[in-house]
């Protein structure tokens, strides 16, 4: 029997490589991260939240440029962090990549991409997650 590698373990967690939210089947609102019940419908929505794959496409609502970062991200400065409103409605905070910080604009269309977030020096584990890039 072959021992699972850390990389394989991470690849097999669907939330790591997909933006999965859920939708209230009572009112139709979409949430990310997923919720147990809809805060608008309350008890009516218990057991009525449907898992959905979000498109990963949206627009920048607001952003800032990070010039002074924590130790894990020092080599990336300056970099933009934005609040992205997905086409389905939820808002996500994420790093914007594949463009110059000065090219980031409010209302800019973006799409999710999965990238290396950081690497643990002691274990060598590489952590991946979503970031957003300008729509192609």
Which of 23, 17, 132 has the alpha carbon at shortest distance from 85?
132
**pLDDT exceeds 50 at position 3:** no
The three-state secondary structure class of 61 is: strand
**C-alpha atoms less than 13 angstroms from C-alpha of 16 in its C-beta half-sphere:** 13
112, 46: one domain? no
72, 121: one domain? yes
- Give the sheet arrangement for strand 20-24, strand by strand: 30-31, 20-24, 49-53
End-to-end CA distance of the chain: 43
- Total of domains in the chain: 2
Print the domain residue range for 78: 1-15+55-136
107, 63: one domain? yes
136, 84: one domain? yes
pLDDT tens readout for residues 60-104: 999 999 999 887 778 889 999 999 999 999 999 999 999 999 999
pLDDT tens readout for residues 19-38: 999 999 999 999 999 999 99
- Predicted TM-score (pTM) of this structure: 0.81
């Amino acid at each position: 029997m072959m021992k699972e590698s850390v990389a394989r373990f991470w690849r097999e967690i669907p939330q790591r490589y997909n933006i999965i939210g859920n939708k209230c089947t009572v009112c139709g609102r979409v949430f990310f991260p997923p919720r147990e019940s809809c805060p608008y419908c309350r008890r009516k929505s218990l057991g009525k939240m449907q898992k959905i794959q979000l498109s990963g496409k949206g627009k920048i609502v607001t952003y800032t440029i990070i010039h002074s970062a924590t130790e894990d991200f020092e080599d990336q400065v300056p970099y933009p962090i934005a609040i992205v409103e997905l086409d389905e409605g939820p808002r996500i905070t994420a790093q914007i990549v594949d463009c110059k910080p000065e090219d980031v604009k409010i209302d800019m269309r973006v799409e999710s991409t999965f990238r290396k977030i950081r690497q643990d020096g002691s274990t060598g584990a590489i952590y991946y997650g979503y970031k957003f890039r300008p729509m192609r």
